[in-house]
Chains A and B, each alone.
Chain A
Amino acid sequence: MDREPVNRSDQSSRTGDAGRSDSTNRSSPEFNRRDFLRGSGAAMAATAMAVAATEQQAAAQQQAAKVVSAAPHPVKLNVNGVDLTLTVEPRVLLIDALRNDLNLTGCKDVCDRTNCGACTVLIDGKPVYACSRLVMDVEGQKIVTSESLLSPTKTDDVVTNFCKHDGMQCGFCTPGFVMAVRGYCNQNPKATVDDCRKGLGGNICRCGTYAGVLQAAFDTAQTATPIAKGGA
């Protein structure tokens, strides 16, 4: 593999504002506040108002212990079966780490807001928008990108089927669609054409390749092995 991490010099620490809360720019304080709210919400539901204050204090303490500084820090990732460590700020999104740090540009940045599917990768076998996850969120999980589906010795069925039915034109949405199909078919082997129409609505193609994609997805589903056995 020629996909050595690209060395992005000088990962700086930033302690400034929390950044916007949209998907393109999340900071670590934002991340931890949400984490905190999730925990404290559960506690509130289970306790009487009288003890709520105590619970909140406890939760706050717990949260303080989990605070991650905004400075870059090492994150262990497993990408396409390779273990590696990236040193990045906690606000860095998985999509940006894959594209900019690992040069895995098959996952495309298209919509800036978790809607188009162009950045789809598999995380523990499930199709996920890479722009919807922070890098630190996926530590320890298995990430599979489109690049892994083609090597000099192996061509995944899904790639073969996209070529056979010409499920691509400009090809920009294609790797994301390919990963969505791979993940969907692993989860739904033997899916019908109609199933595929319903199950693959998470990706946008501007060139209008849906007819070919649909046929490719159907073919892929027929030979897919259920997710427990591995798949892609």
Chain B
Amino acid sequence: MAERKVGWEPQGQHTLVGKEIQRLDGPVKASGQAKYANDTNPPGTLFAKLLTSPHAHAKLVMLNLDKAKAVKGVKAVIAMAEVGQEVRYEGWPIVAIAAERPEYAEDGLRAIEIKFEVLSHFVDEADLKGAEAADVTDAGEKVKLTKSLGTQKKGDVETALKEAKHVHKGFYGVNTITHMCLEPHGSHAAWDGDKLNVALSTQNVSGTAGQYVKPLGIDEASVSIKCDFIGGGFGSKFAVDEWDVACAKLAKETGKPVRLLLNRATEMQIAGNRPSAFAEVTVACDAEGKITAWDSHHWGTNGPKGGTVALTVTPYVFDPPNRTRTATGIITNCGPDRAWRAPNHPQACAYSQTAIDDLAAKAGMDSLSFFQKNLSLTNVPHIYGPELEIAAKLMDWKTKWHPRGQGGGNGPVKRGIGLALHTWGGGPHQSNVTIKVHPDGSVEVMMGSQDIGTGTRTCIAQVAADTFGLPLNAVKVSIGSNKFPKAGPSGGSTTIGGVTGPTRRTAQQALWKICDLAAAKYNVDGTSLSAKDGKLWSGDKEVCTWKQAASLVGPMALELQGGPVTEDEKLTDKQVGGVQMAEVAVDTETGVVRMVKMVAVQDIGLIVNRLLARSQVYGALIMGIAYSLVEERIMDNKTGRFINANLVDYKLPRIGDIGDLVVEFYEPEDQYKRGVIGLGEPPVIAPGAAISNAVANAIGVRVPVLPLTPKRVLDALKGARV
């Protein structure tokens, strides 16, 4: 008698789980037949556009919508701000217009009569002294722009610094970047009597309906949210935004469906960004290269709230016995931040592990040996250790390593390598599931979840089909509606564990029920039965087909509900490491940094879909290359405006800019046994430090602030010559 136990099969024994399976919705996505909120287009749909503030700080002194309302094709105009109100950043929504065509909505915007009284602003987020001295008012009161976020102390930094063999002091920084989802934030809203149907671009299908209740005065039960596809979120699409509410209001007023998605500039100005962080660091080690002390003060902005990177992740990954950390937030007239893929970690990694690498150089040590020597200061040395070995082989570290700036060669192009480590939680979120096994053998899985690009649908289908011993196409997965069982939002790398855990358990329980029915009918021991290749087996003896077994459920489907995973089920786990190495070629005459190669070694417990998992890491590396080398929000201090708020001047890498990417999963049996762990975030953390360290290794000096643009590289080289 075999024991019935919730869990995964031993490593290597699953038929679909862990394999390279193409995403189920690949063909409809690739052919453009997939419909996003942005594509929702039933006949009669009106197109809405926003008028937003061109000023970083201003008082609205006049607003006349009459002429706009009279424009041909314009159907409704609503104010989103009041006269007398202050707007605190560029892009602040002021008016929404719905019209029969987008062109008419533009005409309407141009007809709005509006006047501002421009007020003083502050946007220079790197300038802590400037922020302290700035004269900015809010509603007539002078505002203190800097906010202490505290100091935390451990050990005795002062003594440790005195006793240290090598002490390094440096300045580091990471500029603000935006999420830049290619599908902007927004929605399509349609009323059906008192019911509101919204196609929302959201990472939070089950959690957004309630956000319409207060502003619209309706029942949550009357709101249906639909999101079959979402064109990027990266942490910025958890909520219903004020423009979504405006969209629903415009739909109500006109009695027609309305679609409102932000235009590119507004998307970049107000729909989320990753806070900046700049740091003064002192770090020290003993004669062996063991880090003994850390002292840092970092600051930056997340916009109007005045926050920056959390204290708790500083210094990143390495936690020396003596450390002091201090943070200061700056209030700026910039758009508000939102969670950006692995909140806090990429910035903390970038200012910590660059400083640590500079200390290694000062101590005259190979960066790899230095990092290895200090693994006992990390949370998961048993993971970093082997991952570093694997990465070093894939990068050919030993051959390529040279002390800083001593790569040789007479030409202007210098090569270098660098590395960094990261960590992330990635435990499962809370998701519920309904599984139906129909009498004809077909299977349905329903969940109010979403696929933000991870491959949620495909992973759920794999787990269910694998459990029932069926081919992938025998399972229909329905997600993307808040009318399905409640599921957690897709953030924090929680989704794949969160959805596959309950699916596995509930499918196993359904299978056991069916096995019991088959056992009674075919007179075998139910607990001896297993499902494979569309059949039920007792040992290696075929008992019946899956269809025959399923028909025993009676005239109606067998339906099972399952709740969120629990820790003791051991279907999922949390806490990963991850190692990355970068190789760059830097042109010391032009300052251009070219990616040669990146290696990522990542543990994620049990891999559900190898093809899609690899995509997550590729994507993270490319996003990492973007913020390391080219992308940044540039604020104009004079006008307070985001001057590169467009896809031409806000640079992103293209297909030829990424070099060779090597992705390797670290998956020995003990890691597999931990179960599923999320992957979306960890690999986006280390590229900043790894690439910056590679550049320092190539040219012999540190380029302190990311992204490493040609100008910054040349400035650093100039400084080095002085």
- Tell me the A residues contacting B by CB distance below 8 Å: 6-12, 14, 16-17, 19, 24-25, 89, 91-92, 96, 99-100, 103-113, 115-116, 118, 145-147, 149-150, 155-156, 158-159, 162-164, 166-175, 178, 196-198, 200-214
Contact = CB atoms under 8 A, between A and B. Distances in A.
Given A16-B107, A108-B38, A209 B615 contact: yes
B655 A111 contact: no
A110 B36 CA distance: 13
B187 to A, nearest CB: 15
B231 interface: yes
Contacts, number: 215
A106 B229 contact: no
Interface string B67-93: 000001100000000000000000000
Contact of B101 (A8, A17, A166): A8
Interface string B336-380: 000000000000000000000000000000000000000000000
A26 to B, nearest CB: 10
Given A208-B620, A214-B655, A106 B32 contact: yes
Given A100-B101, A159-B30, A175-B30, A170 B72 contact: no
Given A150-B31, A171-B231, A208 B656 contact: no
Contacts of A112: 263-265, 646-647
B27 A155 contact: yes
Given A10-B73, A163-B22, A96 B103 contact: yes
A209 B621 CA distance: 10
Contacts of B626: 208
Contacts of A8: 100-101
A197 B647 contact: no
A19 to B, nearest CB: 8
23 contacts: A14-B107, A19-B106, A107-B32, A113-B264, A146-B32, A159-B26, A159-B27, A162-B30, A166-B611, A170-B229, A170-B231, A171-B30, A171-B231, A173-B182, A175-B29, A178-B31, A196-B655, A203-B655, A204-B647, A205-B182, A208-B619, A208-B620, A212-B618
B31 A175 contact: yes
Given A113-B646, A171-B30, A204 B652 contact: yes
Interface stretch (B39-47, B421-429, B571-579): B39-47
Contacts of A208: 618-623, 626
Nearest to B452: A170
Interface in B18-66: 22-23, 25-36, 38-39, 41, 43-45, 47
Contact of B229 (A171, A206, A209): A171
Nearest to B625: A208
Given A96-B103, A170-B232, A172-B182, A210 B32 contact: no
Contact of B104 (A12, A206, A209): A12
Interface residue SS majority, chain B: loop
Nearest to B21: A166
A225 B427 CA distance: 48
A209 B45 CA distance: 32
Name the 6 nearest CB pairs between A and B, nearest first. A106-B32, A208-B622, A172-B231, A175-B32, A169-B453, A171-B29
Grouping DSSP codes into helix (H, G, I), strand (E, B) and loop, the A interface class, with mixed when no group exceeds half, is: loop
Nearest to B622: A208
Nearest to A161: B30
A96 B453 CA distance: 26
Nearest to B34: A171
Interface string B228-245: 011111100000000000
Contact of A103 (B41, B183, B621): B41
B271 interface: no
Given A16-B107, A172-B36, A206-B181, 11 more contacts: A96-B101, A106-B33, A112-B265, A112-B646, A162-B26, A163-B23, A169-B619, A198-B656, A204-B647, A210-B622, A210-B653
Given A110-B264, A166-B26, A6 B182 contact: no
Contact of B41 (A105, A164, A210): A105
B658 interface: yes
Interface string B87-122: 000000000000011111011001000000000000
Nearest to A145: B32
Contacts of A107: 32
A163 B30 contact: yes
B183 A108 contact: yes
A107 B230 CA distance: 15
Given A171-B453, A178-B31, A210 B658 contact: yes
B2 interface: no
A19 B108 CA distance: 12
A106 B31 contact: yes
B544 interface: no
Contacts of B232: 170, 172, 206-207
Interface centre among B73, B452, B614, B621 (most CB of A within 10 A): B73
A201 B620 CA distance: 19
A109 B263 CA distance: 9
A156 B102 CA distance: 33
Contacts of B231: 108, 170-172
Interface in B639-656: 646-648, 652-656
Nearest to B229: A171
A105 B615 contact: no
Interface in B193-233: 229-233
B612 interface: yes
Contacts of A108: 32, 38-39, 182-183, 231
B598 to A, nearest CB: 11
Contact of A174 (B29, B38, B72, B655): B29
A143 B90 CA distance: 39
A205 B618 CA distance: 12
Given A105-B39, A109-B38, A111-B264, A174 B648 contact: no
A169 B232 CA distance: 9
B550 interface: no
B180 interface: yes
Contacts of A164: 22
B661 interface: yes
Nearest to A92: B103
B102 A100 contact: yes
B232 to A, nearest CB: 5
A197 B229 CA distance: 28
Given A6-B41, A170-B229, A211-B661, A118 B182 contact: yes
